[in-house]
């Protein structure tokens, strides 16, 4: 049993090839633990490879997956909303409630509750404008990522097979303590990475804002050289982050992480 926060060191033989690492968070009575894995980790003699699990900033991840797919008149959503700060996607994330809603030309198609960022919808044929929202709440979460919300807009028509829908996500990657905190009253550089349809130079506009009152009010911070600089508030304050993105085809994303990290 590894106390959290904590570290474990494994000495392995590189001749064996790649290694798989798994980690489960300590569970509380009556609650499931989050389980993570890092597969195919390459090692070399004398080298050190570090993986950090279950630390902020949590948020959506589109690594190795389209996220949203349309097949005929069925739209399937599979966007992990609670990938950890290192990009590890939990097999069984801890959350209290989650829902995903699809709108077609402004009219709600359906709302699905259950696993965060996962749903499937049947839609009519014909080209239409869609809005897809997905939210996960983590009541009782350990101080960070108490709520994560994404909202995408895109245009879609019936397909003759599985076709990726152009959705994007933004990853915030500040250097935080093992408890997901940063120094109070100090400047913090937060790298910003675009994933999905808008990656690789397909961003038309990107605006990042910060809130220190749980999303009641927001202050925009400039994105410079792939990062924003946040002037942290007083100790024991949650810092929330929001990204608004438009890609070169006009598809949009609004992504919000309430309590992305806390100050100490």
Phi and psi angles of residue 108, each rounded to the nearest 5 degrees, phi first: -65, 125
pLDDT at 46: 86
Q: Name the average pLDDT for the chain.
A: 92
The pLDDT tens digits of the residues spanning 235-264 come to 999 999 999 999 999 999 999 999 999 999
> Which of 179, 174, 216 has its CA nearest to residue 193?
174
pLDDT of residue 36: 86
139-166 tens-digit pLDDT: 765 578 999 999 999 999 999 999 999 9
Query: Would you state the pLDDT for residue 32?
Result: 65
Confidence band of 1 (pLDDT split at 50, 70, 90): low
- The two structure tokens encoding residue 108: 């709600």
More confident of the two residues 1 and 151: 151
The pLDDT, as a whole number, for residue 258 is: 97
How far, in Å, CA of 186 to CA of 29, rounded? 37
Distance of CA 35 to CAs 32, 38, 43, 92, 126, Å? 9, 11, 23, 6, 41
CA distance 167 to 130: 11
pTM attached to this predicted model: 0.92
For 188-237, the DSSP string reads: EEEEEEEEETTTTT-EEEEEEEEESSTTSS-EEE--BTTEEEEE--SSS-
pLDDT of residue 157: 97
Q: What percent of the chain has pLDDT over 70?
A: 95
pLDDT band at 213 (very low <50, low <70, confident <90, very high): very high
């Amino acid at each position: 049993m590894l106390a959290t926060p904590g570290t474990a060191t494994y000495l392995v033989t590189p001749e064996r090839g790649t290694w798989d690492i798994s980690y489960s968070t300590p569970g509380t009575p009556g609650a499931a633990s989050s389980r993570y894995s890092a597969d195919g980790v390459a090692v070399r003699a004398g080298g050190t490879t570090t993986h950090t699990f279950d630390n902020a900033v949590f948020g959506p991840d589109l690594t190795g997956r389209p996220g949203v797919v349309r097949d005929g008149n069925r739209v399937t959503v599979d966007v992990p909303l609670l990938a950890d700060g290192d990009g590890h996607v939990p097999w069984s994330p801890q959350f209290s409630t989650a829902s995903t809603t699809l709108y077609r030309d402004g009219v709600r198609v359906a709302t699905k509750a259950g696993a965060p960022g996962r749903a499937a919808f049947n839609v009519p044929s014909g080209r239409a404008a869609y809005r897809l929202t997905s939210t996960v709440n983590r009541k009782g979460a350990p101080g960070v990522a108490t709520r994560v919300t994404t909202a995408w807009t895109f245009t879609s028509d019936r397909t003759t097979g599985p076709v990726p829908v152009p959705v994007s996500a933004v990853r915030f990657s500040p250097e935080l303590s093992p408890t997901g905190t940063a120094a109070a009253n100090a400047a913090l550089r937060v790298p910003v990475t675009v994933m999905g349809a808008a990656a690789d130079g397909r961003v038309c506009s990107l605006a990042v804002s910060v809130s220190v009152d749980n999303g009641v009010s927001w202050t925009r911070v400039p994105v410079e050289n792939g990062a924003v600089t946040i002037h942290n508030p007083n100790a024991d304050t949650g810092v929330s982050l929001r990204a608004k993105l438009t890609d070169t085809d006009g598809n949009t994303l609004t992504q919000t992480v309430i309590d992305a990290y806390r100050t100490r």
